[in-house]
Each structure stands twice: as structure tokens, then as C-alpha cells.
Amino acid sequence: MLEDKHPSKTPISSLGEFGLIEHLTHSFKLNNKSSLLGVGDDAAVLEFKNTQTLVSTDLLIEGVHFDLSYVPLKHLGYKAVVVNLSDLFAMHATPSQITVSIAVSNRFPLEALEELYQGIGLACKNYNIDLVGGDTTSSTQGLIISITALGSASKEKIVRRKGAKENDLIVVSGDLGGAYAGLQILEREKAVFKVNPNSQPDLSSYTYSIGRQLKPEARGDVIDLLNSLEIVPTAMIDISDGLSSELLHISKASQVGCHIYEEKLPIDPEVLSICEEFKFNSTTAALNGGEDYELLFTIDQKDYEKIKNHPLLTVIGHCADLKRGNQLITGLGQQIALEAQGWNSFAE
């Protein structure tokens, strides 16, 4: 698809490494006071006063984490930033800077990388963060993206996976399973395209789910909401690998059991429809799908009235004694042990 998109292509080799960096980043301006020096020197210079500095990094590899046969490069750039910001929000922090490193093969012309950086630039604008550095190099095959995000938080506001207590409520933002449902649609249309390249799919019925897969958003708005409600979660994590996997991370770190109720899981009607179309269980999609980048957190019961019936937040269960295990309780009252069946980078 890359080869057909641009009538005129500029080989990256015509710019050289430093010329490429200058070309791709010259339009990025510094907006945060903590960003003293950005791209163009041997190192960035940042200054955080009276706060804790948080750092998160993520690696995305073509053929493992994304498929360019249906992922637009602009969307990929945006998503690559968002997944890192989500990790900082999951610790109740405010992101402020990113670095971007890429390894790219000669099958990508300059114009393709411009699209990638347009998406990165849009994410920087939407989340008010600065691009302050990175690296570029060649790849023998495909595209590799590595992004590091930096942010800050006051010491008393930082939330870890550790901290949940027995009887704490388990809360999730937004809804679940949308990214997984969108992936199923995209994979199906890819298979159809291979058989019939002239086919023109009608994806109008799947707009929400495809958007959840291709252009997710990090839930900084939820952090703002919690701050306005004066709620500091006792434990928190973002949902990247699937709800069940993330619950088990909190359980292990906090040494509590997590009991959630199937009927409480928030699932969008479009996702329910896709699950029915593909004949798979919507609960399975919500538990194991991953890439929703919603926030999963626990709160003290005294904070329940503050979030009760809030459209962005759903109480899906509670914490229990570790000996009681991690359970999904069905509508019939059956208890099913939760297992980590989400994304596993090293699964065969």
C-alpha cells in the first residue's frame, strides 16, 4: 500500500540521518515550562521542581504490534504516543515530554515518515506534550518505533498497582472490548482483500470499534475527573493487555483477590453486535481483548457516592481476601477463576 500512495517519493538516503531528523521535527515547538532544550543537541534538558519524575517506554514492531496493510501511518504515529501516555496516566501523572526513535527500511520513502510524524505531532498537540529527542536508524526489514514518555506528579498523588485493600471497589473507565472487535473487522477485510483486491468494504457499521483499534485515546480526562472529585485511587493500571491480565497484576501487587461481576462489564452496543456477528462471547472480548487503554483502578468505599452513576466510570466489582482468589461472577452466580489470557508478547 505504501508503494502506491505517493506519486512522487523521496528516498530517505537523500537526506542522511541528521537531515532526516531535522526535516521530521523542525515543526515541533516546546510548550511546557519543564522543557528547557529539545531536539537538536546531544541531550534534552528538562527541569521538574518539587515533583516526582516518571518515565515509561514502549516498543512497537511491524508484523508483531501493527499491520500496515490496514493501519494508516498517521494513525500509527498517534497511537504509538497514546499507549505511552496511558502508562503515565495510570500512575496519576501528567505527561509532558516524549522521545521518538525509529528504525526504518528503504521501502519507506520520506513521505511515509512524514505521515507517521503528522500523527505524532497531532498527539503532542492534543495532549500538550513536547517532542524533545530520539534517534533514527536503518532496519533490514519493516518499521520499528520506540517512544519514551516523561511526566511528573506530586509524591502523594502517585498511584501504583500496589495499594488496593480488601473491600475496595474495582472501577473501570469507558467501555471494554471495542479495540478487539475492531481488530476482528480489520483482519476479516484484509482476508477479503487478498481474495478480491477490487472489493470495497462498507465499514460504516463498525466506525466506533475500528476507531478504538486504530486511534485510541489515553484517559487523561479521567485523571482530571478524579482530581476534581478529590479521589486518589488506592491502585491503578491501564488496560493494554486485557482486563483479566490487568486485574491479576493488581491482585499480585496488592495481595488481594479481585471479584468482578459479568453483568457490570461496560460493553458498547456496537461491540455486542460484532461479537454476535463473529459468534464469540462479548465477555471474553471484554476480559481478554486488550488495547482499550481504559483505566482500571480501585477506590475506598467511602468514595463511592462521588462516582455513583457517573457516565465515564463503572464499578465492576470489589477486592477480597487473597485466599478467595480472582473470580468472575456470572449472572447466574457462578464463580469462574480469572486467567491472564490477554496479549503475551512471547506467546508462540
DSSP letters for 22-64: HHHHTT----STTEEE-BTBSS-EE---SSEEEEEEEEEEBTT
Residues 147 and 176 in one domain: no
Please report whether residue 345 resides in a domain. no
Mean pLDDT along residues 303-307: 97
Please report whether residue 193 resides in a domain. yes
pLDDT at 7: 60
Mean pLDDT along residues 226-248: 96
CATH of the domain at 6: 3.30.1330.10
Please report whether residue 164 resides in a domain. no
Q: Please, what is the average pLDDT of the chain?
A: 91
Domain boundary among the residues 132, 157, 182 is at: 157
Domain boundary among the residues 157, 179, 199 is at: 157
Mean pLDDT along residues 228-241: 96
pLDDT at 3: 45
Mean pLDDT along residues 285-296: 96
Residues 135 and 199 in one domain: no
Residues 121 and 209 in one domain: no
Question: Distance (Å, rounded) from C-alpha 328 to C-alpha 152?
Answer: 35
pLDDT bucket at 4, cuts 50 / 70 / 90: very low
Burial class of residue 191, CB neighbours in 10 A (0-12, 13-18, 19+): exposed
Question: Distance (Å, rounded) from C-alpha 110 to C-alpha 20?
Answer: 8
Please report whether residue 55 resides in a domain. yes
Question: Distance (Å, rounded) from C-alpha 116 to C-alpha 77?
Answer: 5
Residue 199, by phi and psi: left (phi above 0), alpha (psi -120 to 50) or beta? beta
CATH of the domain at 186: 3.90.650.10
Residue type, 112: A
Query: In a 3-state reduction of DSSP, which class is residue 194?
Result: helix
Domain boundary among the residues 135, 157, 179 is at: 157
**pLDDT digit string, tens, across residues 157-173:** 999 999 999 999 999 99
Residues 243 and 316 in one domain: yes
Residues 268 and 204 in one domain: yes
Residues 204 and 318 in one domain: yes
Pair 178, 208: CB distance under 8 Å: yes
Residues 185 and 286 in one domain: yes
- Identify the sign of the CA torsion 275, 276, 278, 281: positive
Please report whether residue 343 resides in a domain. no
Q: Where are the alpha helices (DSSP H) in the chain?
A: 2-5, 16-25, 73-89, 110-127, 178-195, 207-214, 220-228, 243-254, 269-278, 282-288, 304-307
Please report whether residue 267 resides in a domain. yes
Specify the number of domains making up the chain.
2
pLDDT at 2: 43
Question: Distance (Å, rounded) from C-alpha 48 to C-alpha 99?
Answer: 17
Residues 71 and 173 in one domain: no
Query: In a 3-state reduction of DSSP, which class is residue 7?
Result: coil
Residue with cell 515518515: 113
Residues 174 and 152 in one domain: no
Over 80: is that where the pLDDT of 326 sits?
Answer: yes
For the chain, percent of residues with pLDDT exceeding 70: 93
Residues 178 and 293 in one domain: yes
Q: Tell me the residue range of the domain where 31 lies.
A: 2-157
Number of H helices, E strands in the chain: 11, 13
C-alpha cell at 150: 516523561
Please report whether residue 258 resides in a domain. yes
Residue with cell 471494554: 176
Residues 8 and 71 in one domain: yes
Least confident of 133-142, 217-226, 334-343: 334-343
Please report whether residue 347 resides in a domain. no
Are β-strands 169-173 and 313-320 bridged in parallel, bridged antiparallel, or unpaired?
A: antiparallel
- The pTM for the full model equals 0.89
pLDDT bucket at 207, cuts 50 / 70 / 90: very high
Residue type, 20: L
Over 90: is that where the pLDDT of 220 sits?
Answer: yes
